[in-house]
Structure formats: structure tokens, C-alpha cells
Amino acid sequence: MKKTKKQIILENDLSIPAIMAELETYKTGKQKAKFLREMGSLNLPYDIKWETLAQCHEGTKEWPSFNYKNKKEKDEDILKDTFEVSQSSGDDKPLTHEELEALI
């Protein structure tokens, strides 16, 4: 008895690593897009935009670009013992953790 493709998919492991491994077995973008659309129709519990991925693989949509160089991220040391507090008068010395706790 020959199994349908849907039966094969349903019997397979549908974890993200298994889906990615299956996706890598397809050679062309068109085949990958078809597989991704099938995954999107299965109502899986993942927050994945299957159609967008399919469009990127078949070439009808550009892959998103991530430019992390333009993002300014704060290099915050959450373990340091001093905190910057805006003061209207007095010295500009930051308060220690103990002084801040005493104020609160």
C-alpha cells in the first residue's frame, strides 16, 4: 500500500529540527516552497510565517536583511553597585546601591 505525502508528513517528527532537516533534503527553491506551504497548512504550534519563507525560497520575495551595525545597544552592567541618578544640585557622584535603597 502506497502512503500519501500527507500520511508520511503526519507520521514524521514535526519538531523544528526535523522540519529543517526535511527542508534541506529538497534541492530546488520551488520544492522547498511547496514543502513550507504544506507545513503551513498543518496548523503546527510554531509562530512561523510559512508563506513568507516559501516566497523567499522560490524567489518571489527578498530575504529580510538584518543590519545590526546600525542598532545602538546599551552596554549595561546589571551587576554594578552604582546607579546614575539625576540630581538638580550637589555633587555629581552616583549613588551606591545602599544609598539608593535608603532613599526608597
Tell me 14's DSSP state: -
Per-residue b or e along 71-97, where b marks 16 or more CB atoms closer than 10 Å to that residue's CB: eeeeeeeeeeeeeeeeeeeeeeeebee
Q: What is the pLDDT of residues 49-103, one digit of tens each?
A: 999 999 999 999 988 877 655 555 555 555 666 655 555 555 567 777 777 777 7
Whether the per-residue pLDDT at 26 is higher than 80: the answer is yes
How far apart are the C-alpha atoms of 53 and 62, rounded to whole Å?
10
Show the cell assigned to 65. 536583511
